[in-house]
């Protein structure tokens, strides 16, 4: 049985005050189901935007929710970490799903998510032909997914960062392994697709955000797994993205890069905006080592019976070599990190 949460008296009262109001409790229940905007919440609750914004401000001050900006829109979600957020999650488990107000909120939330899915599907349909063409060129997605799962093993992942998340495929694939996950992408249209896919799969422990993977808006050393799936060939200097990914890793954290092996399909530059025509083992390994990472495994996945035009997909697994010194821990000394500074 897990240990009960321990908060100081004042902190406990602050959490209970913040959550102990009908509208704010409804907001917390809704945000437990994923990221929503003020407009979404206004539509669901049928209350004015200033009123909803005031309640969100109070919940934010109590560190129960978090806010992030995506262009002109601000998204909110239930905070993932911290004792206050954990207490609220426990409280929400005692809210009856048969309560008439909660049922009505859930129905309106489903309607908002259906509209989100319809917009995402419209964008996806406009680009489906292009994506289908690219998928036919290389190893099957299922084969690539299986290789990634084999490389990672069954070790639980505390925090995942997926760079260039696209449709959110990696967030869905690894959802059984991580406790929390963040996907970032520079395309707001793709983020719409990813949100719709997460909604459809009922994955609430992952969030997606608009960000530049060459200049990430996160503190370093906050993730124990970073993934970069079929993204680097769009960059003139992919080594910058790799260095930024390495900065995100905790000591001992892992980086998985999935991309194309060297090829000669020049038309991909003009028709699909590819800047790099694949990456050799040597080039990628050099960039990973320059970023302070140790290359652990490299796997090539060939396209099978293609007419000479198939593309090989390569998966690189690298690790931040820093470790807590086992001898220091056993002797009770102050821990230090070995490896990259």
pLDDT at residue 1, as a whole number: 44
pLDDT along the chain (341 residues), means of 10: 70 86 93 88 93 94 85 81 86 89 91 78 61 68 92 94 93 96 90 89 93 89 94 87 96 96 84 83 93 96 64 94 52 40 32
The CA-atom distances, in angstroms, between 142 and each of 127, 135, 315 are 21, 11, 14
Q: What is the pTM of this model?
A: 0.72
pLDDT at residue 46, as a whole number: 92
- Cα 329 to Cα 161: distance, rounded to the nearest angstrom: 28
pLDDT at residue 310, as a whole number: 77
**For residue 86, what are its two tokens?**
């954990």
Cβ atoms 198, 225 nearer than 8 A:
no
pLDDT at residue 30, as a whole number: 93
């Amino acid at each position: 049985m897990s240990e009960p949460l321990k908060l100081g008296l004042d902190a406990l009262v602050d959490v209970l005050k913040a959550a102990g109001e009908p509208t704010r409790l409804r907001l917390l229940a809704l945000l437990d189901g994923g990221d929503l905007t003020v407009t979404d919440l206004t539509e669901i609750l049928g209350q004015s935007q200033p009123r909803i914004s005031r309640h969100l401000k109070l919940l934010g001050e109590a560190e129960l929710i978090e806010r992030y900006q995506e262009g002109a829109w601000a998204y909110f979600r239930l905070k993932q970490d911290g004792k206050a957020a954990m207490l609220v999650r426990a409280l929400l488990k005692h809210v009856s799903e048969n309560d008439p107000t909660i049922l009505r909120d859930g129905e309106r939330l489903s309607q908002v998510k259906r509209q989100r899915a319809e917009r995402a599907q419209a964008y996806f349909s406009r680009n489906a032909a292009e994506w289908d063409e690219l998928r036919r060129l290389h190893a099957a997605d299922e084969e690539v997914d299986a290789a990634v799962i084999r490389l990672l093993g069954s070790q639980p992942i505390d925090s995942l960062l997926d760079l260039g998340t696209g449709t959110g495929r990696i967030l869905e694939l690894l959802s059984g392994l991580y406790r929390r996950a963040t996907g970032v992408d520079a395309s707001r249209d793709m983020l719409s697709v990813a949100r719709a896919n997460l909604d459809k799969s009922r994955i609430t422990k992952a969030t997606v955000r608009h960000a530049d993977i060459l200049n990430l808006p996160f503190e370093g050393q906050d993730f124990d797994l970073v993934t970069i799936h079929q993204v680097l060939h769009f960059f003139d200097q992919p080594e910058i993205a790799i260095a930024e990914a390495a900065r995100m890793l905790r000591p001992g954290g892992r980086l998985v890069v999935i991309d194309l092996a060297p090829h000669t399909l020049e038309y991909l530059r003009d028709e699909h905006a590819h800047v790099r025509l694949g990456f050799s083992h040597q080039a990628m390994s050099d960039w990973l080592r320059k970023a302070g990472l140790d290359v652990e495994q490299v796997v090539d996945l060939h396209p099978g019976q293609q007419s000479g035009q198939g593309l090989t997909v390569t998966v690189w697994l690298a690790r931040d070599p820093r470790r807590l010194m086992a001898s220091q821990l056993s002797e009770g000394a102050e821990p230090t990190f070995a490896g990259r500074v």
